[in-house]
Amino acid sequence: MQLKADIGVIIMDEYRKPYFILWRGIDEALAAMQEQNYVWAVNVLIKAQQAAEDAYIEENESAVIVKHDFRPVP
Protein backbone atom coordinates (compact mmCIF):
# COMPACT_ATOMS: atom_id res chain seq x y z
CA MET A 1 0.00 0.00 0.00
CA GLN A 2 2.83 2.38 0.79
CA LEU A 3 4.36 1.67 -2.60
CA LYS A 4 1.21 2.85 -4.33
CA ALA A 5 1.33 6.14 -2.44
CA ASP A 6 5.01 6.56 -3.29
CA ILE A 7 4.29 5.96 -6.97
CA GLY A 8 1.56 8.60 -6.85
CA VAL A 9 4.01 11.11 -5.42
CA ILE A 10 6.55 10.28 -8.12
CA ILE A 11 3.94 10.67 -10.83
CA MET A 12 2.78 14.02 -9.47
CA ASP A 13 6.36 15.33 -9.32
CA GLU A 14 6.95 14.04 -12.83
CA TYR A 15 4.00 15.98 -14.23
CA ARG A 16 4.15 19.12 -12.07
CA LYS A 17 5.98 21.42 -14.50
CA PRO A 18 4.11 20.25 -17.64
CA TYR A 19 0.81 20.57 -15.75
CA PHE A 20 1.43 24.19 -14.84
CA ILE A 21 2.60 25.01 -18.37
CA LEU A 22 -0.66 23.62 -19.72
CA TRP A 23 -2.66 25.40 -17.01
CA ARG A 24 -1.20 28.78 -17.97
CA GLY A 25 -1.78 28.06 -21.65
CA ILE A 26 -5.41 27.09 -21.09
CA ASP A 27 -5.96 30.20 -18.97
CA GLU A 28 -4.50 32.42 -21.70
CA ALA A 29 -6.49 30.62 -24.41
CA LEU A 30 -9.74 31.07 -22.49
CA ALA A 31 -9.04 34.79 -22.17
CA ALA A 32 -8.42 34.98 -25.92
CA MET A 33 -11.65 33.10 -26.59
CA GLN A 34 -13.60 35.53 -24.42
CA GLU A 35 -12.31 38.25 -26.74
CA GLN A 36 -13.35 36.07 -29.71
CA ASN A 37 -9.74 35.76 -30.81
CA TYR A 38 -9.96 32.07 -31.66
CA VAL A 39 -6.87 31.89 -33.85
CA TRP A 40 -4.74 33.24 -31.01
CA ALA A 41 -6.36 30.75 -28.61
CA VAL A 42 -5.50 27.82 -30.88
CA ASN A 43 -1.91 29.02 -31.27
CA VAL A 44 -1.55 29.43 -27.49
CA LEU A 45 -2.84 25.89 -26.89
CA ILE A 46 -0.48 24.42 -29.49
CA LYS A 47 2.51 26.24 -28.00
CA ALA A 48 1.50 25.21 -24.46
CA GLN A 49 1.24 21.58 -25.54
CA GLN A 50 4.67 21.69 -27.18
CA ALA A 51 6.22 23.43 -24.16
CA ALA A 52 4.68 20.87 -21.79
CA GLU A 53 6.00 18.00 -23.90
CA ASP A 54 9.46 19.57 -23.95
CA ALA A 55 9.38 20.06 -20.18
CA TYR A 56 8.33 16.44 -19.64
CA ILE A 57 11.11 15.15 -21.89
CA GLU A 58 13.66 17.45 -20.24
CA GLU A 59 12.72 16.25 -16.76
CA ASN A 60 12.81 12.60 -17.83
CA GLU A 61 15.84 12.49 -20.13
CA SER A 62 17.60 9.98 -17.96
CA ALA A 63 14.48 7.86 -17.38
CA VAL A 64 14.33 4.45 -18.92
CA ILE A 65 11.35 4.10 -21.22
CA VAL A 66 9.62 0.76 -20.78
CA LYS A 67 7.15 -0.50 -23.33
CA HIS A 68 4.32 -2.37 -21.66
CA ASP A 69 2.51 -5.20 -23.34
CA PHE A 70 -1.02 -5.27 -22.00
CA ARG A 71 -2.31 -8.19 -24.04
CA PRO A 72 -4.22 -10.73 -21.97
CA VAL A 73 -2.35 -13.83 -20.95
CA PRO A 74 -3.99 -16.97 -22.39
Residue-wise pLDDT tens digits, 26-59: 999 999 999 999 999 999 999 999 999 998 888 7
Q: Is the pLDDT of residue 12 over 50?
A: yes
Asked which of 6-10, 26-30, 68-72 is least confident by mean pLDDT, the reply is 6-10
Give residue 57's pLDDT: 85
Model pTM above 0.75: no
Rounded to whole angstroms, the Cα distance separating 46 from 51 reads: 9
Higher pLDDT, 48 or 61: 48
Identify which of 25, 14, 33 has the alpha carbon closest to the alpha carbon of residue 51: 25
